[in-house]
Chain A
Amino acid sequence: DAGVIQSPRHEVTEMGQEVTLRCKPISGHDYLFWYRQTMMRGLELLIYFNNNVPIDDSGMPEDRFSAKMPNASFSTLKIQPSEPRDSAVYFCASSLALFSGQEQFFGPGTRLTVL
């Protein structure tokens, strides 16, 4: 398996533009997670899905952020409109759910810069 795949790897956009980040989890994994990493706050969980259903989106910072998982092999995180403070590295991760604390496998991340 190629692991968790994220695209694009880098995104530079202007304030006010829509940004869509994409993720392909590892085949067979039940859970998918979106994280944001910043210097100030470290790794923050934004939202996670179980079997394509959003379970907890309490980490989504504002209504400008939305996430979907239309099928087991694809998820998107959208920011509309984007703002400079959204600049960060966004990670997608997936895991099985055999037991509590099952390790999560992370993608390489998307570095977002909003000018």
Chain B
Amino acid sequence: DQQVKQNSPSLSVQEGRISILNCDYTNSMFDYFLWYKKYPAEGPTFLISISSIKDKNEDGRFTVFLNKSAKHLSLHIVPSQPGDSAVYFCAASVDNAGNMLTFGGGTRLMVKP
């Protein structure tokens, strides 16, 4: 049973528009959420994170929103750029769980020029 789900395997967006990537989770014990970006032939790299005590965290063009009641988080990229084309993974962790992360299946974002 997947505890972290990314229901959209792919997303295509025009350059300059907003990209919204979604992630749902089932474990109410998750208290920290991260987004990773992965380019082909490279390992995932950390992008942005949010603690469960917040509902929004912003870093430049990237903003993560957390809705705890809905067990849902989203990553917004504004404006989208062709270099943002990658696979995005959502991940979650439980406090005192040895820093173990549970990843979603990933969403492939394609930003068209």
Chain A residues in the interface with B (C-beta under 8 A): 4, 31, 33, 35, 41-45, 48, 50, 55-56, 91, 93, 95, 97, 99-109
Contact = CB atoms under 8 A, between A and B. Distances in A.
B33 interface: yes
A100 B89 contact: no
Contacts of B101: 33, 45, 101, 104
Contacts of B36: 106
Contact of A42 (B31, B51, B89): B89
B28 interface: no
A107 to B, nearest CB: 5
B12 interface: no
A91 B43 contact: yes
B63 interface: no
Interface string B72-113: 000000000000000001001111111111111110000000
B11 to A, nearest CB: 16
Given A101-B93, A101-B99, A42 B33 contact: no
